[in-house]
Structure formats: structure tokens, C-alpha cells
Structure 1
Amino acid sequence: MRNLLPFLTRIPVEGDFEKAREELWAFPLVALVSSALPTLVLYLGLPLSNVLALLALYFTIGLLHLDGLADWADGVMVKGDRERKIKAMKDLNTGIAGIFAVVMVLLLQVYSLSLVPFYALFLSELNSKLGMLLALATKKPLGQGLGAYFMEGMTGKRLLGGLIFYALLLVPLIAYDPNVLASLLGLLAGGYAIRISLKNFGGINGDCIGAIAEITRAGTLVVMAFAWQLI
């Protein structure tokens, strides 16, 4: 897992670029690190804890995934064929679709965090990392960037390992609170984002993976917010 941290967080540790894709099975484990500080903020019940927790999350993971979401949304929303959509996604300028997507994801997360238990952020990060892993498992790279590099390292064993660690981290929380099962529905948001990526671009690159991570996390928090309000 140590070699993945420089790619998925801002934690100042050194990682081996060549070994990172050999640790794809550890994606779910990264959620333990990325959610630690924001979960602590929620647990302590500090004033404006939902806002502070989200700030703590992005302090830990950085804004790269949000940037990918903005580019992805610009590409999805532009009219035209795949070539035009890919060109819009790679454009350095952020359009109104990208801004709207980022604002909505942030608003959904910050509001949902005010309605869910403190461990919900860990669950949403766990789903987010699994969503990224499933995106890599499509083995349909778009271009020759970092996404393609990690896809080359994806194997059935590494995917299975990731699924096993995901289950091992999830099961204790389900035993503690059976309502946690609702968080599994958040993966549908990530699956839909994967489908939209393949439909619009014909493949998945780093921007798509970042968007999938953000959409999966936000979708999980929204689902859990609804579940906890209805329980």
C-alpha cells in the first residue's frame, strides 16, 4: 500500500512508481488512511464538523480527483462525436459543466455529512477506492497516461484481492450497524459513471477515474443520508 499513497493522497511518503501498480489490491486499504483525519473531525463533533471534515478529506487526498471530475463533465456534456468529447475533456480550460459538477458534488457531500454517523465518510471513501479499482478492471484505457499504466498492471488476482480487503473492512461495520448495508447502493453511482465514461469516450483515463472516485463517494453519502433519515 505504501507505494500507492503518493498517487492517491498528499501524504509525504516516497513510493516506487514501478511497484505501485503491483499494489492495486490495496486500493480499499488506502481508505483507512484517506478517511482517518476527516472521520476524527466528525467523531469529535466539532462546530461545522461536516464542512471541516470535507476540508480535511481534500487536505489528505488533494484536488486531483475534483479536477478530473471537472474535465470529465466538460467532455460528457459537450455535443458531438467521441473525438470532440475527448478534446473537450483534455482542454485546459474548465467549462460551465465542469464547474457545475464540482459544485454539486461538494454540496451533496457537505450536506450529507451533516445527516450521517461519523463512520459514513470512511464507508464513502471505501466505496470510492473500490470504484476506482473497478474502473481499472475494465481494461479499456483511453490514451497512454497514468490510467493506462495502472490498467496494464490490473490482473484478476489483484482485483480479487481488492474485493477481499473491501469485504474485510466492510463486514465489521455491518456487524456493528446493519444499516451500513445501504452504503453498497452508493457503488451504483460509480458503476453509472463508468458506463457513461465508456459510452462517451470509448475508454477510461485518469480524468475519468478521478470523476468516478468523486461521484462514488458523493453517491454513497447521499444514499446513506437518505437511509439514516428514513430509519
Structure 2
Amino acid sequence: MRNLTPFLTRIPIKGDFEKAREEVWAFPLVAVITSLLPTLILYFKLPRGNLLGVLALYFTIGLLHLDGLADWADGIMVKGDREGKIKAMKDVNTGIAGIFAVVVVLLVQVYSLEGAPFYSMYLGELNSKYAMLLALATKKPLGRGLGAYFMEGMNRKNMVIGTALYVLLMIPVLALYPKAIVSLLGLAIGAYTIHISLKNFGGLNGDCIGAVAEITRAGTLLIIGTF
């Protein structure tokens, strides 16, 4: 986990990037770290806690996944064949679809946290990180970038450990707050995002995995805020 944390967060600790892919099982554990500040803000009911919580999240994780979401949306919205979609996703310039997707995801998260339970961001991040693990488990890399790099470290053992951690980290919240069970629907949103990515691009790269992370979290928060 020590090597994976610097890649998934802005926390200034040293890690060996070459060993990070060996720790993909720890994705759910990283969610505990990334959700800590937002959870404290929501727990103490600070003024404008919904906005501060989202800002605290991105202060912790950075904007890498949001950037991936923007590129992913540009590719998804392009009409034409698979090659054209991939080209649009890899274009260094962000199109209107990418900007729209980022704005919507940010607004959904801020809106959903208004009056939401303090544990909402914890569950959102837990689902987000586990959905990333599911994306890696497809073992369908697109190109030779970060997505392919982490998929190479994915195996049955890492998936089993990661799933066990996800369940163990979910159980305390569900035991104390049974209605939080609706958050599991957020994983369905993540799974559908993976499906859409494979259908449009034929594989997953870092941008797709970043989009999966962002959409899963936003979807989870929306579900919790609604129910």
C-alpha cells in the first residue's frame, strides 16, 4: 500500500512506482485515506460542508481522474468508428463533452452531499476504488499506458484480497446504518461505465479507469443523497 498511495493521492510520501502494481489489492484501503478529510468535514457539519467536502477530496486525490473523465467523455461522444473514438479520447485538447462531463460530476457530488450522512464520501470512495479494481480485472488493456501497467499486476489473488477488504470495510457502516445498503447500487453504475468503455473503445486505458472512478463515486453519492 505504501507504493500505491503516492500514485492515487497527493500525500507526499515516497514509494516505488515499479512496485505499485503489485499492491492493486489495496485499492479499497486507499479509500479510507482519501475519504478521511471529507468525512470529518461532514461529521462536524462545517458550513458549506458539501462544497468543502468535495474540495477536500480533490485536495487529497488530485485531478488525475477528472482529467481522465474529460478525455473519456470526448471519446464516448464522438460519432463514428472505434478508431475515431480512441483518437478523440487521446487528443490533448479537451472538448465540450469533456468539460460538460467534469462539470456534471462535480455538481452531482456537491449537490448530493447537501444534508447527506457523514459517511457518504467514505462509501463513495470505497465504491470508486473497488470499481477501479473491477476495471483492472477485465484484463483488456487499451494501448501500453498506465491502464495496461496496472492490469499486468492484476491476478485472482489480488482480486480476492481486494474484494475481501471491500466487504470488511463496508460491514461496519452497514451494521450501524442499515439504509446505507443502497450505496451498493453505485457499483452497478461503475460496472455500466466499464461496459460502455469496452463497447466504445474495445479496451480500457488510464482515462477509462479514471472515468470509472469519478462516475462511480458521483453515482454512489447521488443514490445515498436520494434515498
The TM-score normalised by the length of structure 1 is 0.97
Q: Which residue is equivalent to 2:115?
A: 115
Q: Which residue is equivalent to 1:168?
A: 168
Equivalent-residue separation in structure 1 for 2:150 and 2:65 (angstroms): 16
What's the offset of the Cα at 1:141? 0.1
| Identity, % of aligned positions | 72
Equivalent-residue separation in structure 1 for 2:169 and 2:41 (angstroms): 20
The superposition leaves residues 54-87 of structure 1 with CA deviations (integer Å, 9 ceiling, x where unpaired) of: 0000000000100000000000000011110000
Q: Which residue is equivalent to 2:131?
A: 131
Q: Which residue is equivalent to 1:223?
A: 223
Q: What are the ranges of 5 or more consecutive residues in structure 2 without an aligned counterpart?
A: none
Q: Which residue is equivalent to 2:56?
A: 56
Equivalent-residue separation in structure 2 for 1:145 and 1:115 (angstroms): 40
What's the offset of the Cα at 1:159? 0.4
The superposition leaves residues 73-114 of structure 1 with CA deviations (integer Å, 9 ceiling, x where unpaired) of: 000000011110000000011111001100100010000001
What's the offset of the Cα at 1:140? 0.1
What's the offset of the Cα at 1:13? 0.7
What's the offset of the Cα at 1:6? 1.2
Alignment of 1:1-231 (within 5 A): 1-227=1-227
Equivalent-residue separation in structure 1 for 2:41 and 2:195 (angstroms): 34
What's the offset of the Cα at 1:7? 1.1
Equivalent-residue separation in structure 1 for 2:183 and 2:115 (angstroms): 14
Equivalent-residue separation in structure 2 for 1:222 and 1:96 (angstroms): 23
Q: What are the ranges of 5 or more consecutive residues in structure 1 without an aligned counterpart?
A: none
What's the offset of the Cα at 1:179? 0.6
Equivalent-residue separation in structure 1 for 2:15 and 2:132 (angstroms): 19
Equivalent-residue separation in structure 2 for 1:14 and 1:151 (angstroms): 22
Q: Tell me which amino acid in the other structure corresponds to 2:82.
A: R
What's the offset of the Cα at 1:180? 1.1
Equivalent-residue separation in structure 2 for 1:77 and 1:179 (angstroms): 35
Equivalent-residue separation in structure 2 for 1:198 and 1:7 (angstroms): 24
Secondary structure of the structure 1 residue equivalent to 2:13: coil
What's the offset of the Cα at 1:115? 3.1
Q: Tell me which amino acid in the other structure corresponds to 1:202.
A: G
The TM-score normalised by the length of structure 2 is 0.99
What's the offset of the Cα at 1:204? 0.1
Equivalent-residue separation in structure 2 for 1:17 and 1:98 (angstroms): 28
Equivalent-residue separation in structure 2 for 1:6 and 1:173 (angstroms): 27
Equivalent-residue separation in structure 2 for 1:206 and 1:115 (angstroms): 33
What's the offset of the Cα at 1:118? 0.6
Which moved further from structure 2: 54-63 or 108-117? 108-117
Equivalent-residue separation in structure 2 for 1:46 and 1:168 (angstroms): 29
Q: Which runs of 4+ in 1 moved over 6 A?
A: none
Secondary structure of the structure 2 residue equivalent to 1:15: coil
Equivalent-residue separation in structure 1 for 2:136 and 2:115 (angstroms): 32
